Amino acid sequence: EMDGRELCRRVRRTPSFAGVRLLVLSALIESDAACVAPDFEADCCLSKQSQLDRLFEQIEALVTR
């Protein structure tokens, strides 16, 4: 079994996924400020308690990069 961090590491190390954007939703943190994307090797990290509008904002930001 693997956790989200390991999944992100594997995606980042797989050449065929080079252009994939990663947005992590974590239940292990209580606020978005507590989640640091580089810790997950992700482009963005949000708490699962985030509001939907915040999630949509981040998805839009990742898609338009």
Residue-level pLDDT at 49: 83
* CA neighbor of 17 nearest in space, from 30, 26, 29, 8: 8
Residue-level pLDDT at 4: 84
Task: Encode pLDDT of 5-59 as tens digits.
Answer: 899 999 999 999 999 999 988 887 766 666 666 677 888 888 888 889 989 999 9
Residue-level pLDDT at 9: 92
Q: Which tokens belong to 23?
A: 């947005």
